[in-house]
Amino acid sequence: MNWSESTRRAFLKQFGAAGAMALAASRAEAAQQIVPPAGPASADEKQAATRDQRMQWWHEAKFGMFIHWGLYSVIGQHEWAKEVEGVPISQYEILAKHFHPKPNAARDWARLAKRAGQRYMVMTTKHHEGFCNFATELTDYNAAQQGPGRDLVAEFVEAARAEGLRVGFYYSLMDWHHPDGALCKTDEAARRRFVDYTHGLIRELMTNYGKIDVLWYDVAWPLDAEEWESEKMNAMVFELQPDIIVNNRNLLPGDFSTPEQHIQAAEAGRAWETCMTLNESWGFNRGDDAWKTPKEIVGNLATCANGGGNYLLNIGPMPDGSVPPESVRILSEAGAWLDINGKAVYGTDRCQGGGNVNVIYTRRGNTLYLHQHFWPNHTPAAEWLDFYKPEAVVAIGGLKAKALSARLLKTGQNVEFTQDGDFTLRLTGLPLVAPDQPATVIEVECDSEPVVDHDAERPLWPRLKVGISD
């Protein structure tokens, strides 16, 4: 038992004052029942105790919008432009005077996120460039005192809340602008100043905008967790925002892992979120035309859900705050698909068995969802049509559960099926053309948890004799 202060209070309340006296009288007996640990619970233990409850909405949500927006958007060549193009600080700072977003651009992002079926938004409050998109007392290199002339983070928070979306702040620890941003590694006085500055900015973010749902740290270069005083950082964050969720990029485990630009499920029991760009760049990049297709996006979302993870998908607004039209198109298509198929994504559980080249599985309890992105095409030759009923068949080998019913999410139409012993479920009589795009989802209710396990089945398949017959 974790003997936290609230447990102690609940315990005393339950016993009441008289009970507490009686308790004192029989201290020896009581001590045998509950043994409080000697020291106070560590910050991580405290976070672990409330994690399930804090993260419930996040697990249910599955899909979020990431927003990378800052001075780099004015250049329009990816958010690392300062470093990769070697732009001197004196020149880069000029961008701050030329950053003139239209009013309330964040409202359009929030409406788009809502339409796309995203349930939370995470915005860059400060990226590696060091420019604060929020009003701060700690530097004048901030949106309120520079070109924009207002607090862009405040607008974002208001916009997300207006659409009923949860609010997340991205914050880069690495800072290319602060004079101590690199010196802090080798000079203790510089480290002290820079850590105080960093903790101070995070304190402002956690204090000035009401309830914040996610804090998304990024790049810890050049310090380690001890030098950043990350324990203290998280303790402050949780004191100011007891229900918040934090990631692992201040070099502590935090509440969730953050695979970037690839999908990698964490070990069971550990929360994770894949963050990904819609093209190849986080910040607006005029020339980057490597847009993912809606099929890839919907498939990635299903793959994340399959592994019990979330998908945080990025937009890089233009300097005035407008969202590139390609991003709007792709997200809108994904959203239209989720309107029909959201049941197969939101609030689903981690699934045993991933899928195959044609399909991705997700699961809720005993219900399996087949996200069929390549539809089986058994178009018969015209001369066969007289005696051959055209149908598409979807088959799953190795399903370790008995199917009870099946239907198409797009049309609600029931699907007929047969199941051979332990091995194969055959869903029959399906239309020849995929009923839905970019993926058709078939919902299969089973009598137990639907595990798809080919490895377990492979040795059990009856095999025929191989040999040369005479």
Q: Which of 97, 75, 73 lies closest to 86, judged by CA?
A: 75
Q: Which of 156, 197, 282, 369 binds ligand GLC (CB under 6 A)?
A: 282
User: Which is closer to ligand GLC, CB of 277 or CB of 440?
Assistant: 277
Rounded Cα–Cα distance for residues 440 and 371 (Å): 6
**φ/ψ (deg, to 5) at 270:** -105, 130
Q: Which of 21, 34, 89, 219 binds ligand GLC (CB under 6 A)?
A: 219
Q: Which of 151, 218, 229, 288 binds ligand GLC (CB under 6 A)?
A: 218
User: Which is closer to ligand GLC, CB of 309 or CB of 398?
Assistant: 309
| CB of residue 168 to ligand GLC, shortest distance in Å | 12
Q: Is 275 in the site for ligand GLC (CB under 6 A)?
A: yes
User: Which is closer to ligand GLC, CB of 141 or CB of 176?
Assistant: 176
User: Which is closer to ligand GLC, CB of 260 or CB of 349?
Assistant: 260
Pattern of binders to ligand GLC over 127-156, x per CB under 6 A? ------------------------------
Pattern of binders to ligand GLC over 253-272, x per CB under 6 A? -------x------------
Helix (H, G, I), strand (E, B) or coil at 141: coil
Rounded Cα–Cα distance for residues 243 and 222 (Å): 29
User: Which is closer to ligand GLC, CB of 11 or CB of 80?
Assistant: 80
Q: Distance between alpha carbon 310 and the CA centroid of its chain, in Å? A: 3
Rounded Cα–Cα distance for residues 459 and 462 (Å): 8
Rounded Cα–Cα distance for residues 364 and 59 (Å): 12
| CB of residue 153 to ligand GLC, shortest distance in Å | 16
Residue 223 is which amino acid? L
Pattern of binders to ligand GLC over 395-424, x per CB under 6 A? ------------------------------
Q: Is 84 in the site for ligand GLC (CB under 6 A)?
A: no
Q: In this structure, is the dihedral angle defined by the CA atoms of residues 101, 102, 103 and 105, taken in order, positive or negative?
A: negative
User: Which is closer to ligand GLC, CB of 43 or CB of 153?
Assistant: 153
User: Which is closer to ligand GLC, CB of 92 or CB of 375?
Assistant: 92
β-pairing verdict for 440-446 and 403-408: antiparallel
Q: Which of 79, 175, 255, 333 binds ligand GLC (CB under 6 A)?
A: 79
Intra-chain end-to-end CA distance of the chain, in Å: 74
* Angle between helical axes of 325-341 and 294-306 (0-180°, round to 10): 50
Bridge partner list, 150:
none
DSSP string, 17-73: HHHHHHHHHTHHHHHHH----SSPPPHHHHHHHHHHHHHHHHHHH-EEEEE--STHH
User: Which is closer to ligand GLC, CB of 181 or CB of 398?
Assistant: 181
**φ/ψ (deg, to 5) at 236:** -65, -45
User: Which is closer to ligand GLC, CB of 54 or CB of 127?
Assistant: 127
User: Which is closer to ligand GLC, CB of 275 or CB of 278?
Assistant: 275
Q: Is 63 in the site for ligand GLC (CB under 6 A)?
A: no
Pattern of binders to ligand GLC over 349-378, x per CB under 6 A? ------------------------------
* Angle between helical axes of 188-207 and 230-240 (0-180°, round to 10): 20
| CB of residue 81 to ligand GLC, shortest distance in Å | 11
Size of the residue set binding ligand GLC (CB under 6 A): 8
Rounded Cα–Cα distance for residues 33 and 352 (Å): 40
| CB of residue 120 to ligand GLC, shortest distance in Å | 15
| CB of residue 218 to ligand GLC, shortest distance in Å | 5
Rounded Cα–Cα distance for residues 256 and 252 (Å): 10
Residues at the site binding ligand GLC, with contacts judged by CB under 6 A: 68, 79-80, 218-219, 260, 275, 282
